Structure 1
């Protein structure tokens, strides 16, 4: 896992495939809180989602690169108030 203290607000989060996953709102504990603008559609829209810091492969040039492709990474997103169980 990369050093989460290097992650800055408004940094782009991309999958290992280079596809946009979200934008950092802030780091909360061991998770990245994404902005509401990247909250998805339908019932997922309008609230924050979180990505586990364990998925962060690197923080380079103001960009957070995940170890999983974007389509896989979004399946690991947690809703506001959820806690990771693994």
Structure 2
């Protein structure tokens, strides 16, 4: 995992794929190694989990991932 300070991850921060597409917003940290995304931004009104290891950078109110939007949607966990 990159040297990401989890304290820099804010609720409702935009989650941006490496291709520049927003894939969701942070709901909260789930456990020690996952981020739960808000369901209000999902077309099916479902929560999704992504691993912290996908975060390449925290820039203010944005998390930038090291995966494209297609990769994120294919690999995230649906709750």
TM range (shorter): 0.7 to 0.9
Gaps of 5+ in 1: 81-86
Structure 2 CA distance, aligned partners of 1:5 and 1:74? 25
Instruction: Output the CA distance in 2 between the equivalents of 1:39 and 1:75.
Output: 14
Moved over 4 A (4+): none
How many residue pairs end up in the alignment? 76
Instruction: Please give the alpha-carbon distance, in whole angstroms, between the structure 1 residues aligned to 2:69 and 2:77.
Output: 15
| Alpha-carbon distance in structure 2 between the residues aligned to 1:39 and 1:77 | 12
For structure 2, list consecutive stretches of 5 or more residues without a partner in the other structure: none
Structure 2 counterpart SS, 1:74:
helix
Residue of structure 2 in register with 1:12 after alignment: 14
Deviation of residue 8 (structure 1)? 0.3
**Does residue 1:36 correspond to 2:43, yes or no?**
no
Calculate the TM-score normalised by the size of structure 2.
Answer: 0.86
Shift of 1:4: 2.3
